Chains A and B, each alone.
Chain A
């Protein structure tokens, strides 16, 4: 039984989430190959070769895959599919974008966002924004799966897998990349950070998010936001933690001025330790927080920064 895992990367670095997705593949069991599709992405293949638990890295290095457009990447994966019983990607925006296309081209269903593996055909996944957990058995011969990385522990990176170059170069010719507007940050990725500090509507405006900077610096934390803060235009969409934003599960999650809507809780309630800072003692966030401070964030934040 062979498993193809799609590697998440930006043509220079392998994303840490991939290590968790490989762990999900290991839970299924079988010979695991890691696919690196991109352009000038040899550095990624080198990092991928060190991932434990895989036997082979396939690298498809071609201009057609530079931006991982769904139309092109789905054709590439479909071309490779005949050798595999499971095709797996991380449930981040790239995987979410192209994987259902792969499933449809193969005429199989997709099992999205799994957080657990019961057997080679049975998987556990959240539904209704995490308010229910479904156990689903796939009836298809090939399984197309996306993995919610917070459900699995990363594999180590001291392996030495063989790297095989592919000459696939399929360009569907129906779409083109125009531009990126990516946030440049010195801070760790939300998905990979051990500590996340997030601001909500209570931050009142985008400028006040600077109050989180000092604490984030001291803790090596990533900075996130609630949907309310993003919708209000305080900060960019890529900072959103929640059901429709990023799903995180750091060791420490600090929610500042966040009431704790279901939608937000779905994105962070698997964090190991949750701290809530909110002036409303009745806010639902306190029902999931290990430690809460009822108080004005504009007083609490500077004090917290000074005492860390």
Chain B
């Protein structure tokens, strides 16, 4: 079976983002970029399904300008077989991303689409669910375990109260949570090999979808900073402060 893995280029998770002085957005100039950590987990899961003989082909897809080819090459180095870049300069809403991915799903007919549950830039947590709605497929979000069994996939999900397992008819959409797997590091030979794997470029405009924005970003501000407090020397002092100064315990 074919597995499709949509991935996103985002700010590296180790970089502390700064808001631009004019409050129009965050400053991404000359900032290190990387594959979104949840997307990397999605690639790893797909590659593991292939190594287990469950998947036959792993296709990575990313939407963005030419620079996202770097992340697609990373996915190829991790074990994806081929890649698709959907070229656009626009910063798309999750809904428009899902609409483009819907077209890719129609074209490629994957049995499983594995996405990250959210990207660490916009923190939307929407694309996988929206893609599932548009394709009419079942979804297993926030997955910590994925087991393909016949024409179904069992997905164990991280939910507020603990874990929940659902059985989904295939084809299905899965979004990854942190503990699904620990992604491997790409080896040097695999990085070299990835350079020769096929990477198709398609223009977003060719899909015939209205990609006009659904919202306007009015401003971006830094969060209110918390002031560091005091270091107390003893537990007695702490208890005294909590009782009499902060008044949060009695």
Contacts and interface: CB of A to CB of B under 8 A. Distances in A.
Which one of A98, A131, A287 has the greatest number of beta carbons of chain B within 10 Å?
A131
Nearest to B126: A100
Interface in B85-142: 93-95, 98, 117-118, 120-134, 136-142
Contact of A112 (B124, B132, B161, B226): B124
A149 B30 CA distance: 35
Given A10-B161, A136-B217, A273 B246 contact: yes
B214 A138 contact: yes
A273 to B, nearest CB: 5
B138 to A, nearest CB: 4
B179 to A, nearest CB: 6
A105 interface: yes
A178 B154 contact: yes
A293 B228 contact: no
A138 B217 CA distance: 9
Contacts, number: 253
B177 interface: yes
- What's the dominant secondary structure at chain A's contact region? mixed
A174 B131 CA distance: 15
B123 A126 contact: yes
Contacts of A67: 164, 166
Contacts of B221: 132-133, 135
Given A139-B214, A195-B248, A243-B123, A286 B228 contact: yes
B223 A132 contact: yes
Interface residues of A, number: 88
A292 B120 contact: no
B91 to A, nearest CB: 12
Nearest to A183: B162
Interface in A95-141: 96-105, 107-113, 122, 126-140
A108 B94 CA distance: 10
A79 interface: no
Contacts of A246: 160
Interface of B: 11, 16-17, 19, 26, 93-95, 98, 117-118, 120-134, 136-142, 144, 154, 157-169, 172, 177-179, 213-223, 226, 228-232, 235-236, 238-239, 241-242, 246, 248-249
The 7 closest A-B pairs by CB, nearest first: A109-B214, A290-B229, A100-B129, A104-B133, A104-B130, A174-B138, A100-B126
Given A104-B131, A293-B238, 16 more contacts: A93-B157, A97-B139, A100-B125, A101-B139, A110-B95, A132-B19, A133-B222, A134-B217, A175-B138, A177-B167, A178-B167, A183-B161, A195-B248, A237-B177, A274-B226, A291-B232
8 contacts: A97-B141, A100-B94, A100-B126, A104-B130, A176-B166, A273-B246, A291-B238, A293-B232
